[in-house]
RNA sequence: GCGCCCGUAGCUCAACCGGAUAGAGCACCGGAUUUCUAAUCCGGAUGUUGCAGGUUCGAGUCCUGCCGGGCGCGCCA
């Protein structure tokens, strides 16, 4: 409906050549907005104020000429000039009724924009390292990414969802070693477990389930012979130097253990342990996400980049262009030339390529696959990567702006008023799976995206569980269930909805609550557009709450199943439309719309 | 120290490229059910939008400085 008004303003401007120059670089659409206050009409345009300076005219004068040029339109019942120069539009009831019919005609396609061919969007999200189950922080990335993907799709963009599986490199060796050690332990071979290893209980489960046949169980002495000591935990009052030193010791110990594991289990044996561990964890992650209603189009394996030499190819391209340079035995990428703070190593002195090298190759690969716009959803701690990955894209011949990074702030879990610690390696984290079991998928999906992604999220489990009836997600779902019930009741009472009759009597929906509700419904397409533009699914959350609040008010004030069939069918038409929009909005958020509660 | 994000009612948060009187929920108080689900509705209070300047017809929103919180600043991933 907003576009309807914007188009009228546009047409009016076309009839005013004296304003043409001033209007040149102004999007008329952006001047039209819903009013906050009903006394300002349904829509307002601030175009007269915006044009005042470039046209060198008084805003109210401009407003007057625009209004005169509008002419008569059946959709508009009244136009007023108010305040410093706002043009207020009052839409006719028939305009709202047409919108209502459009909802009934389109069903859950209502509000969806026509499909666009471009830009093709590649949405990468979660991409949690496959070294353990997803924790509650990943849950936020998953919920935000999934909802954002749905919102973008609803806004017409082609969206491809991808999870980057970091299944190559050192951490996989540490994972394999951790599992190997737990397997030894189960065979009575006890070795001090490395502090830098993965210590979660799931490691033992994996050790118990994987196929270990043909791999020899060594004696403890064989494992420990010549091993350095593990570094101690940091004391709470440790200085930075002590922390660095401890960490170096822990790293040395785990490195040595990895080498020993490879040696004792054999190259192929260790490889089998590592791959099985990876597969086990990945299967768990996939299952977890599927249950959470999060689907991906592709699980992009880092091994597929290293295995096919695509990282080398990318580096070769940079080499050819003379971009890379050598220093201290390492190969550097001059990120500072592309706006980053410092230059970055791509190949270490020991010949091992860095994570950044695969990042360059991966993002290059995304563009090469034909995606025009890349969106990465990352945890807030990754903000340091923005500049360098954009730099990498530019060096590979694309635009830094092809990549958009949406940062998601941290989640803090509270239980019993206590902040909970979350760390994968220490094994004390709370998993997404546990959270879902406690509060349910719907509440979890909803809570995760209720707040702006750039706000910290405090997740209070006590509130989410013990007071779950006050949960806004139920408030919205309840509206859907109530409507479903009304339709059921109608048919039970022999008052089945006659849709055609309802459509013919929408003029009887004259109550204040009903008019507000119709107006709220008509906002839905604008909300989709806005949420997509701002990458802000929470816009939809707030909208649904408002919409449903109008519904509950109307429902309480006016009985639906009245004897007057015309009024009854009209009200049923209104509620059918509400049901459609609520179901559609909840589907975008990944929340179910139950018919019964 | 440098960089990024955040700061709005007692609490948790909204506020559409800057727009009219900054809005919701929770909590608190009072009321509503012989009537389609009371997981509901109706009524009631709350603001120096962290502070100080600046730009503008107009600033929670943009700019500068400061204060407070989070995160990052590796030849880790």
The answer to whether A455 CB is within 7 Å of strand B is: yes
A481 touches strand B (CB under 7 A): yes
Residue nearest to nucleotide B58 (CA to C1'): A84
| pLDDT computed for residue A243 by the predictor | 78
pLDDT at A244 over 90: no
Q: Which of residues 84-123 of A touch strand B (CB under 7 A)?
A: 84, 86, 88
Structure tokens at A109: 């396609």
What's the CA–C1' distance between A553 and B38, in Å? 13
CATH for the stretch A121-166+294-408 = 3.40.50.620
Please say whether the beta carbons of A66 and A113 come within 8 A.
no
CATH H superfamily, domain A471-589: Isoleucyl-tRNA Synthetase; Domain 1 (1.10.730.10)
Is residue A181 within 8 A of residue A317, CB to CB? The reply is no
- The string of DSSP letters for A573-585 reads HHHHHHHHHHHHH
Domain boundary assignment for chain A? 2-91, 121-166+294-408, 471-589
- Please state whether strand B lies within 7 Å of residue A453 at its CB atom: no
Domains A2-91 and A471-589 share a fold: no
- CA(A52)–C1'(B4) in Å? 37
Closest nucleotide over all strands to A302 (CA to C1'): B77
Question: DSSP readout, A333-377?
Answer: E-GGGGT-SS-EEEE-TTSPBPHHHHHHHHHHHHHHTT-SEEEEE
Residue A435: pLDDT band with limits 50, 70, 90: confident
Where does the pLDDT of residue A468 fall: very low under 50, low under 70, confident under 90, or very high at 90 and above? Answer: low
pLDDT of A424: 47
Helix (H, G, I), strand (E, B) or coil at A443: helix
- The rounded distance, in Å, linking the Cα atoms of A5 and A92 is 12
| pLDDT on residue A469 | 55
CA dist., res. A550 & res. A476, Å (int): 11
Pick the CATH number of A2-91 from 3.30.1360.70, 1.20.120.1200, 1.10.10.10, 3.20.190.10: 3.30.1360.70
What ipTM was reported for this prediction? 0.93
Report CA(A315)–C1'(B33) in Å, whole number: 73
- Report, as an integer, the average pLDDT of A411-436: 68
Give the nucleotide with minimal C1' distance to the Cα of A2. B16
Measured N-to-C along each axis, helices A538-557 and A472-492 cross at an angle, to the nearest 10 degrees, of: 40
Handedness of CA A203, A205, A209, A215 (dihedral sign): positive
Question: Token pair for residue A98?
Answer: 């047409």
CA atoms of A218 and A365, how far apart (whole Å): 43
For residue A493, give the 3-state DSSP assignment: coil
Q: How confident is the model over A7-39, as pLDDT tens digits? A: 999 888 888 888 777 777 777 788 898 988 888
Peptide bond preceding A575 in cis form (omega within 30 of 0): no
CA quadruple A484, A482, A583, A594: dihedral sign: negative
Compute the average pLDDT of residues A410-415: 78
Q: What is the pLDDT of residue A416?
A: 64
Rg, chain A, Cα only: 30
A456 has pLDDT over 60:
yes
């Amino acid at each position: 409906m907003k576009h309807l008004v914007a188009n009228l303003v546009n047409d009016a401007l076309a009839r005013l050549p004296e304003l043409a120059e001033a209007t040149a670089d102004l999007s008329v659409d952006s001047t039209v907005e819903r009013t906050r206050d009903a006394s300002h009409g349904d829509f307002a345009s601030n175009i007269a104020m915006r044009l005042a300076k470039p046209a060198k005219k008084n805003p109210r004068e401009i407003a007057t000429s625009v209004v005169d040029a509008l002419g008569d339109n059946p959709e508009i019942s009244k136009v007023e000039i108010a305040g410093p120069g706002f043009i207020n539009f009052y839409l006719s009831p028939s305009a709202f009724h047409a919108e209502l019919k459009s909802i009934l005609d389109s069903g859950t396609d209502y509000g969806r924009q026509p499909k666009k061919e471009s830009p093709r969007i590649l949405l990468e999200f979660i991409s949690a390292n496959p070294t353990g189950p997803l924790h509650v922080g990943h849950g936020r990335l998953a919920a935000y990414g999934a909802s954002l993907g749905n919102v973008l799709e609803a806004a017409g963009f082609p969206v491809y969802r991808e999870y980057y599986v970091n299944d190559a490199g050192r951490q996989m060796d540490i994972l394999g070693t951790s599992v190997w050690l737990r397997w030894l332990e189960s065979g009575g071979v006890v070795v001090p477990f490395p502090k830098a290893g993965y210590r979660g209980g799931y490691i033992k489960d994996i050790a118990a389930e994987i196929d270990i046949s043909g791999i020899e169980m060594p004696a403890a002495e064989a494992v420990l012979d010549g091993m350095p000591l593990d570094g101690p935990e940091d004391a709470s009052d440790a200085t930075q130097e002590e922390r660095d030193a401890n960490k170096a010791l822990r790293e040395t110990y785990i490195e040595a253990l990895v080498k020993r594991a490879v040696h004792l289990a054999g190259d192929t044996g260790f490889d089998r342990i590592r791959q099985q561990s990876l597969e086990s964890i990945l299967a768990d992650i996939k299952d977890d996400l599927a249950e959470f209603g999060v689907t991906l189009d592709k699980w992009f394996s880092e091994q597929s980049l290293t295995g096919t030499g695509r990282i080398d190819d990318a580096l070769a391209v940079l080499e050819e262009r003379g971009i890379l340079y050598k220093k201290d035995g390492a190969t550097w990428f001059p990120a500072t030339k592309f706006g980053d703070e410092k230059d970055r190593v791509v190949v270490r002195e020991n010949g091992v390529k860095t994570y950044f090298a695969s990042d360059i190759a991966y993002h290059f690969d995304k563009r090469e696959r034909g995606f025009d716009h890349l969106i990465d959803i990352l945890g807030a701690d990754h903000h340091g990567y923005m500049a360098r990955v954009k730099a990498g894209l530019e060096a590979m011949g694309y635009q830094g702006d092809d990549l958009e990074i949406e940062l998601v702030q941290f989640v803090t879990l509270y239980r019993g008023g206590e902040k909970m610690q979350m760390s994968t390696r220490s094994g004390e984290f709370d998993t997404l799976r546990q959270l879902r079991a406690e509060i349910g998928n719907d509440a979890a999906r909803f809570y995760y995206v209720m707040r702006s992604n750039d706000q910290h999220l405090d997740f209070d489990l006590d509130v989410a569980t013990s007071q779950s009836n006050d949960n806004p997600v139920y408030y919205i779902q309840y509206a859907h269930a109530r409507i479903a019930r009304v339709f059921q009741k109608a048919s039970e009472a022999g008052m089945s909805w006659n849709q055609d009759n309802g459509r013919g009597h929408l003029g009887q929906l004259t109550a204040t609550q009903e008019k507000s509700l119709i107006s709220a419904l008509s906002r839905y397409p604008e909300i989709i557009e806005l949420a997509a533009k701002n990458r802000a699914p929470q816009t939809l959350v707030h909208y649904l709450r408002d919409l449903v609040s109008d519904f509950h008010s109307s429902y309480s004030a006016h009985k639906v199943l009245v004897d007057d069939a015309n009024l009854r069918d009209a009200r049923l038409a209104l509620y059918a439309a509400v049901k459609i929009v609520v179901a559609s909005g909840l589907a975008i958020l990944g929340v179910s719309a139950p018919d019964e509660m």
